[in-house]
Amino acid sequence: MKKVLVTGALGQIGSELVVKLRDVYGENNVIASGRSENVTTHGLYEQVDVTDPNQIFQAVKKHNVDWVVHLAAILSAVGENKPSAAYNVNMGGLFNILEVAREEGCGVFTPSSIAAFGPDTPKVNTPQDTIQRPTTMYGVTKVAGELLCDYYYKRFGVDTRGVRFPGLISYETLPGGGTTDYAVHIYYEALKEKKFTCPLDKNTYMDMMYMPDALDAIVKLMEADPSKLIHRNAFNIASMSFCPEDIYSSIKKIIPDFTMNYDVNSVLQNIANSWPDSLDDSAARAEWGWDPKYNLDSMTKDMLDKLKIKLNL
Ligand code: NAD
Ligand code: SER
């Protein structure tokens, strides 16, 4: 049975992943961690600022951790406002995690992103192995992180694994400052206000995914037979690609009086324009059986059902 430390566990992915991992590995085998000292979460929790190698080391030692799921990061939109913080947390934090993993013999799962690609990348059905050259600080840290994980595997045998997540959509915890966040906020506004102002232009396509599929991907790849993994890190995974007009139409099927207008944010638009429209995920399907369950309409129905309950509507 794995003993897992999750960094950045209070964020959009971590808050749901910890619950899922506790179902899979047992309540006492999953330690949530975050920068805050005192948090009111159920279960084991440690304060771990990933820029402090000592805090990582102590948590790993104390709980006999053998896998780290490293989620602590600064996302794309915040990263463009705070490039220095993004560099320090995303690069320094990952380096510290990999060093502790090397010394203590832990495996490491850490996500990359569609942000690891750039404007020179083939935009449609983006191949697994292709030109990257991202143009955001977040993307620079993500592509460097992919290489660093490969390096620690090849050079030191650290069992590193990871996927390139698209924009993730969920109802439990709000997203932490990314370019794809509009695709979460739109559901809240559709239910609360019946109108939404979209910060991206109507034909901006990006790959997106519903959180249950993203959580399944993490567990499936962590449990995958290592002898079948050719790539190990940075697997393209995909389940749906849509633009603002598509998600608007999907919501309108359920909330007919929902309206949307546009007020394009040039920083977000430039980031989105530099990313792929859709990814080719055939390597993930072939190497570890990636098989997502949700499409845009089934996600929309579930999001609206769950949010109605959460928001008491
Ligand atoms: P998030 O912003 O919701 O959560 C990240 C957490 O990290 C936050 O709780 C934040 O407080 C914490 N954090 C920041 N600096 C820290 C530090 N120095 N030490 C410890 N914790 C720190 O992000 P998320 O959406 O949960 O993303 C998790 C990972 O998945 C990141 O690597 C992100 O790049 C990747 N990813 C996310 C998405 C998405 O759409 N959510 C898409 C692609 C990749
Ligand atoms: N959802 C993330 C972002 O927009 C993608 O990595 O930053």
Q: How many CA atoms lie within 13 Å of 10's alpha carbon, on the beta-carbon side?
A: 16
Q: Calculate how far, in angstroms, residue 75's C-alpha sits from the geometric centre of ligand 1.
A: 7
Q: How far apart are CA 299 and CA 248, in angstroms?
A: 13
Where does the pLDDT of residue 40 fall: very low under 50, low under 70, confident under 90, or very high at 90 and above? confident
pTM of structure: 0.98
CATH architecture for segment(s) 4-167+209-236: 3-Layer(aba) Sandwich (3.40)
Nearest CA to ligand 1 atom 28: 71
pLDDT in tens, 190-238: 999 999 999 999 999 999 999 999 999 999 999 999 999 999 999 999 9
Counting from 1 in the atom list of ligand 2, the atom nearest the Cα of 179 is 4
pLDDT in tens, 251-260: 999 999 999 9
Nearest CA to ligand 2 atom 5: 167
Q: How far apart are CA 66 and CA 44, in angstroms?
A: 16
pLDDT, position 80: 97
pLDDT, position 38: 75
Which ligand has the minimum distance to the alpha carbon of residue 116?
2
Nearest CA to ligand 2 atom 6: 113
Where does the pLDDT of residue 143 fall: very low under 50, low under 70, confident under 90, or very high at 90 and above? very high
Q: Calculate how far, in angstroms, residue 65's C-alpha sits from the geometric centre of ligand 2.
A: 28
pLDDT, position 37: 86
- The 3-class SS string of 51-77 reads CCHHHHHHHHHHHCCCEEEECCCCCHH
Contact present, 175 and 184 (Cβ < 8 Å) = yes
4-167+209-236 and 172-208+241-275+294-310: identical CATH topology? no
Write out the catalytic residue numbers: 138
pLDDT, position 39: 80
Which ligand has the minimum distance to the alpha carbon of residue 8?
1
Top CATH class of 172-208+241-275+294-310 equals alpha beta
Q: Please name the residues in contact with 105: beta carbons below 8 A apart, sequence gap of 6 or more.
A: 66
Q: What average pLDDT is seen over the chain?
A: 97
Residues with CB under 6 A from ligand 2: 75-76, 113-115, 138, 167, 178-180
pLDDT over 90 for what percent of the chain? 98
Counting from 1 in the atom list of ligand 1, the atom nearest the Cα of 89 is 18
pLDDT, position 231: 93
Sheet holding 206-210, edge to edge: 167-169, 206-210, 240-242
Nearest CA to ligand 2 atom 2: 178
Contact present, 230 and 287 (Cβ < 8 Å) = yes
Among 6, 7, 12, 146, the mutation site with the greatest number of ligand 1 atoms within 8 A of its Cβ is 12
Q: Please name the residues in contact with 169: beta carbons below 8 A apart, sequence gap of 6 or more.
A: 183, 184, 187, 208, 209, 210, 211, 299, 303
Counting from 1 in the atom list of ligand 1, the atom nearest the Cα of 75 is 34
pLDDT over 70 for what percent of the chain? 100
pLDDT, mean of residues 149-176: 98
pLDDT in tens, 45-55: 999 999 999 99
Q: Is the pLDDT of residue 304 over 80?
A: yes
Where does the pLDDT of residue 56 fall: very low under 50, low under 70, confident under 90, or very high at 90 and above? very high
pLDDT, mean of residues 140-149: 98
pLDDT, position 1: 85
Domain ranges within the chain, ordered by starting residue: 4-167+209-236, 172-208+241-275+294-310
List 31's β-bridge partners, or say none: 5
